[in-house]
Structure formats: structure tokens, C-alpha cells
Structure 1
């Protein structure tokens, strides 16, 4: 009984002090949350403004006025984009490039990084030197075009997949991550009779889920935004990716407006160029942005790769 009373007496002052400290921490948390809320608002507001301007009335857009809610809803910019006969084909092309391209990217990057992360393979240093060399030097546009032509990749969807099969920077990140995995995992698997492919598929990759999700998201965004190779190597307009088609629509509309009459006010047209620009941004960015919520839990861990070990 005496022991219990003594413990209660000793606990009460500590609890009161902890409560006091907790109150001070709570006030600091409020300030921190307010600052973070303001930063989040400053980050989200430009995206919201872009989305709002994509279907706001032409007068508000022409004056560059920002409203919390649109005064007049005008969907003419989206109608102009979606009525393009090649729009659906461009979406399918971009989906093919994104799915197939990301799969090829991850396959080449993960297998290459796993091999190069091992120090016992002969010629590893020479291969690493050649890979790093490509980060600083390239052959130029004309040799690049001639190479694709000799490989018969002109007007071939694989021209947007194979030449960009691996990103050197992402490969280096994967190599650095694989080196942090304890060697005991691989050794125990090999003792059980697993070969290198089985070790990679059943031991290494399950441990590397955050890294795979992060690099996969980066690759998917790169492939979704593919337009340069499409413009450069696709003479068939039906094989243009979505980003290249949207760029063409925006350029053609600006040329049409300038050829009608330079003295005519843009407010008198049915579709303001700024509305079309914002609609192009929304159509091109919204689908790939929808992937982020599904990968967020892995992405938060993956962005810390290389900064914390252990």
C-alpha cells in the first residue's frame, strides 16, 4: 500500500508537467499546421485556377481575373478538343506507350540495376563508366534520327518505347537502393537453392516495393508526356500521341485566329486561346495525376531512398 501511494505521489507531478508541456506542444502544432495549410493553399490555388479558367467565360479569362467559382460555365474549349476525330486514337496511342513503355522501363532498369549493384561481376566498372558517359554526352539529333530510320522505327509505336527503355538517373537510384539490402537475404535464398532470377523476383523485389512504386510512377509520367519522339518520327498523323495532338490543336487554333483578322478582338471569338491552353493542361495532366492516390503510401517511402539508411 505504501508503495502504491508513493508511486501515485511521484506520478502526479510528472503527469502535471507532461500536461503542461503537452499544452505548449499543442500551440506549436497549431502554428505549424496553419503554416502548412497556407503552403498547401498556395500550391493548390494555381492548379485550381487553371481548372477554373478552362471552362470560365471568355471575358473573365481575357481579363485574367481569378474567381473562387466560375461566373459563366463555357465548355467550348473541351468541345473543341474532344470533337477532334483523332482524339480517341491519340489517347489509345498514349495508353499503349504508357503501359508498354513503363513495363519495358521497369524490366530493363530493375534487372540492370540488380546486376550492376553486385561487385563481383567482371567488366562492371567499364559498363558503369559507359552508362554514366551517356548522362553527359549524346550523338545529336541527326545521328539519332538516322539510327531510328535504319532500325525501321519510323511510324512505329515502338520508337516511343525502345529508345527510352532506361533512364540513367533512375537506374543509378535503383543501384543505390539494391546496395542497401542486406546480403544475408540473398545468401539465405541461394542456400535454399534459388538462382539469381528467383532471388530477384521473390526476395529483392518484395523488399523494394516503395522504390519500385516511385520509379514506376516517374517512368509512367515520362511515357504519358511523350511527344517529342512522336513529332519527330510519326509522319502518319493517326499515330501521334495525345500530347503531340494537343500541341497541334493549340498551334493550329492560334494560326487560325491570326489569319482571320489581326484587328478582331479575341473577346469576340467563341473560344479564347487562354481557355484552350488551360483545357489542354487539364486534359493532359488529369489522367496521370489520378494514379498518385493509389501509389501515395509507397511514394512517401520511396522519395526517401538514399537519404536514410537502416
Structure 2
């Protein structure tokens, strides 16, 4: 018993090492989280008072007028609807299409499978550039079209590699049993492979869902119609083009614009657009880690 107690005791160097690591991690967490807290605090403070500075931890003059001004603009509500729609539709189509292609490429009997994989790997490192891509989107009729958020994002080769690695580990006996029962490849994919692949499907869905929610580039480049622009593009315009001034001009009479400034509305808009994914992401982090490890270790 005494030997076990001595064996479990930490040495002085181990104790110091652990505490130094903890201190460094606390500093990193503070550096990471404090900017978010700073934006939140200033967005809840009176805009005129915030211009004086000195607000670091708590609102000095608490107010919700900034958020009232943000939601008074119907554009942000429409942008939220577009973002939710493109996130759901884009994620569902991406997972199904990528899984379908990955299932085909995971079959050893597929003719030219190695050539397809080689071509796909090349696309991960080289692209045609933005101008050819823009011309392609325009010629396909996707410019100023909601489907520009869905069709170009239906396939991702990196996600395909994760799917292929997972599909290759599924027992071949399950497919053989399904074929004996008269199932074809489509039925096997839908009724056997998909139900067994829920862990990797959940992982890829989270990858794509976060991407769809945070993507602003497609709305900036390929969409001119304000009613089709997502919330992140809306935020981009507020910050980069000072459109918050226009929001103040359009604020209804119930909002005290004397306490609202361009900067305070920018901060409130940033909180509104990023808060949903910030709240959800910590609960999904474990799936992201698992997704990166799927297929990398074989038992």
C-alpha cells in the first residue's frame, strides 16, 4: 500500500509543470474569449457613453436600444431567414450527395476508382481561380439565385475522403446479406449503409453546417439582391460599408437614436449574427474531433 502511495505521488517538477501548463491555458482562454465579451458588453451600453471609452468588463449605462435598432431593419430578419434556409438545405444536400459519391468510390469493383481519387486530390490543391469560377456560376444561371448557396457546395473532396474511410470499414458481410435478400446497390446504400453511418454523417453535417452559417463570400460575389443575402454578408456590409448609418436613419420613432451610434449598432449586429453559432459550437466540438479521426485508426 505504501509503495502504491509513493508511486502515485507527484514530484515537485511534475507539480510545477502542471501548474505552469494550467496558467498558460488560462491566459490563452482569456485572450480568446475576452474580445467576444468586450463586443457584447459594449453592444449593451449606451452608444454615446461608450464613445468616452473605459468600458472593459460591464456596461456602464445598460441599454437595449442598439439591438432594437438592429432588429428594426427588416433586412436583418430576411437575412436570418436566408441563412437558416441555406444552412439546412445546403447541409442536407451536401451530406447526401457527398456520401453517395463516396460510397461508389469505396467499392473496389468500381472501374477507374484510383484515377477518380487522383483527380479529386488534385482539386484539393489547385483551382481555376475566382474569375473562371464567377463566369461558370453566371453561365449556369446561378448568379442572383438562391441555389448558388446549395449547388456549388454539394460536394467536397475532403469530406469524401472521410466518408470513404468510414465506408471501407463497414463489414462486407452486411452488403452480401442484403444482396442475397434481393437488394440492389441503391437499396443497400439507403437502407444499410446510411443507417450504419450516422456518426460520420453527423460529423460531416456539422462541418458543412458551420461553413454554411459562416459563409459570407458567396453573398458578396454572386448575389446582388438584398433579399437573397445571408446574415454574414449583411454583417460584412455593416462593418465594411458603414451601412449601419443607414440603419439609424431607418430606425422607427420608438428608438432613441440619440443614444445609438454607428459603432454601437455594428457591435450589436456582430453579436446577433455570431451568437447562435458561438452557443452551439462548444456542444459540437467533440464531433469535429471525432470526424478528424474517423478511419485513421483501425482496430
Which TM-score tier does this pair reach, normalised by the shorter chain? 0.7 to 0.9
**Counterpart for residue 165 of structure 1:** 154
Say whether the 8 Å CA contact 1:98–1:220 is kept in structure 2: yes
Count of matched residue pairs: 285
Q: Counterparts in 2 of 1:1-310, with a 5 A limit? A: 15-24=1-10, 31=19, 34-35=22-23, 36=25, 39-58=28-47, 62=51, 65=54, 67-253=56-242, 270-292=259-281, 295-296=284-285, 298-310=287-299
Matched residues in 1 for 2:53 and 2:173: separation?
61
Matched residues in 2 for 1:97 and 1:255: separation?
25
Q: 1:156: Cα distance to partner?
A: 1.7
1:59-107 C-alpha deviation (Å, 9 max, x unpaired):
7755765633222224343233211122211111111111111111101
Secondary structure of residue in 1 paired with 2:117: helix
Unmatched tracts of structure 1, length 5 or more: 1-14, 258-268
Say whether the 8 Å CA contact 1:61–1:274 is kept in structure 2: no
Q: 1:190: Cα distance to partner?
A: 3.6
Relative to structure 1, the CA distance from residue 196 to residue 230 in structure 2 (aligned partners, 3 Å threshold; closer, same or farther) is same
Say whether the 8 Å CA contact 2:162–2:291 is kept in structure 1: no
Relative to structure 1, the CA distance from residue 98 to residue 59 in structure 2 (aligned partners, 3 Å threshold; closer, same or farther) is same
Matched residues in 2 for 1:159 and 1:174: separation?
24
Segment of structure 1 superposing worse, 208-217 or 51-60: 51-60
Say whether the 8 Å CA contact 1:53–1:278 is kept in structure 2: yes
Over alpha carbons, which structure has the higher Rg? 1
1:19-44 C-alpha deviation (Å, 9 max, x unpaired):
4444539x859748945555444433
